[in-house]
């Protein structure tokens, strides 16, 4: 007959094994991400995008990413701003590097009520290094590598690669998607001119009030 001291570790082991199996079964039973095909190509072949596609006119889903210090950043942090989101697969590739530097340069020419964001699945360490080397300091470079929350909610995760597909989104100051470009081939550039024109037209015009006192009206002597 087994002693009680011998049975206790066995009971605990069986208990935790059952919890683990139940947790794994629950995880596997959760619904899979939506699969979208025939939208984007890589190396001449269509890739499968995971997540929910977002269309122009819809309310932009809030999402959570991290900055270079792993601090959480959400779309809701940019209230009353018109936000242009530049999505790239990886900053360490030629087109992605050019895309990010182009928007960084253009950011200096835009009014203060427009925020430019770059999002990729690069780790924050790599993003921080890239920004330092390339002097990228006008756009906010953020990472979706921790939760993949942005990629899932906007349907941008490339299946079997774990990267985000190249895209541009513009979200107005009411939180609605006003512009979307899924670049048809991830090795190609987005339409910079169209995106920049659109964001300027979408953002409300800033009225600058003059502090100069108005001069009193004068009457001519007759």
For residue 63, CA distances in Å to 25, 57, 76, 151, 176 come to: 27, 18, 8, 9, 14
Provide the pLDDT for residue 61.
Answer: 98
Catalytic residue among 40, 65, 87, 96: 96
* Higher-pLDDT residue of 28, 163: 163
**Which class is domain 35-202?**
alpha beta
Structure tokens at 94: 């030629």
Q: For residues 77 and 45, what is the distance between their CA atoms, to the nearest angstrom?
A: 37
Percent residues over pLDDT 90 in the chain: 78
Provide the pLDDT for residue 151.
Answer: 98
Q: What are 185-214's pLDDT values in tens digits?
A: 999 999 999 999 999 999 999 876 656 555
Q: What are 47-92's pLDDT values in tens digits?
A: 999 999 999 999 999 999 999 999 999 999 999 999 999 999 999 9
For 179, the 3-state DSSP assignment is strand
Q: Verify whether residue 131 is a known catalytic residue.
A: no
- Asked if 67 and 73 count as a contact pair (C-beta separation under 8 A), the reply is yes
Local confidence band at 217 (pLDDT 50, 70, 90 cut-offs) = low
Local confidence band at 36 (pLDDT 50, 70, 90 cut-offs) = very high
Q: What are 128-160's pLDDT values in tens digits?
A: 999 999 999 999 999 999 999 999 999 999 999
- Asked if 168 and 86 count as a contact pair (C-beta separation under 8 A), the reply is yes
Percent residues over pLDDT 70 in the chain: 79
Domain ranges in the chain? 35-202
Local confidence band at 26 (pLDDT 50, 70, 90 cut-offs) = very low
């Amino acid at each position: 007959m087994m002693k009680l001291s011998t049975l206790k570790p066995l009971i605990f082991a069986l208990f935790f094994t059952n919890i683990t199996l139940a947790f794994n079964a629950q995880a596997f039973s959760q619904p899979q991400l939506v699969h979208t095909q025939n939208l984007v190509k890589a190396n001449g072949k269509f890739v499968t995008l995971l997540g929910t596609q977002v269309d122009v006119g819809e309310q932009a889903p809030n999402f959570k990413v991290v900055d270079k210090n792993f601090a959480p950043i959400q779309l809701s942090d940019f209230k009353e701003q018109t936000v242009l989101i530049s999505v790239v697969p990886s900053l360490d590739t030629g087109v992605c590097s050019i895309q990010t530097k182009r928007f960084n340069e253009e950011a200096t020419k835009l009014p203060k009520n427009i925020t430019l964001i770059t999002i990729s699945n690069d780790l924050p360490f790599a993003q921080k290094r890239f920004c330092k080397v390339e002097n990228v300091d006008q756009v906010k470079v953020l990472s979706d590598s921790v939760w993949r929350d942005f990629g899932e909610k906007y349907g941008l995760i490339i299946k079997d690669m774990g990267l985000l597909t190249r895209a541009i989104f513009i979200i107005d100051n009411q939180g609605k998607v006003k512009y979307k470009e899924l670049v048809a081939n991830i090795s190609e550039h987005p339409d910079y001119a169209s995106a920049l024109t659109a964001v300027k037209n979408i953002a409300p015009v800033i009225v600058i009030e003059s502090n100069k006192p108005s001069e009193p009206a004068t009457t001519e002597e007759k």
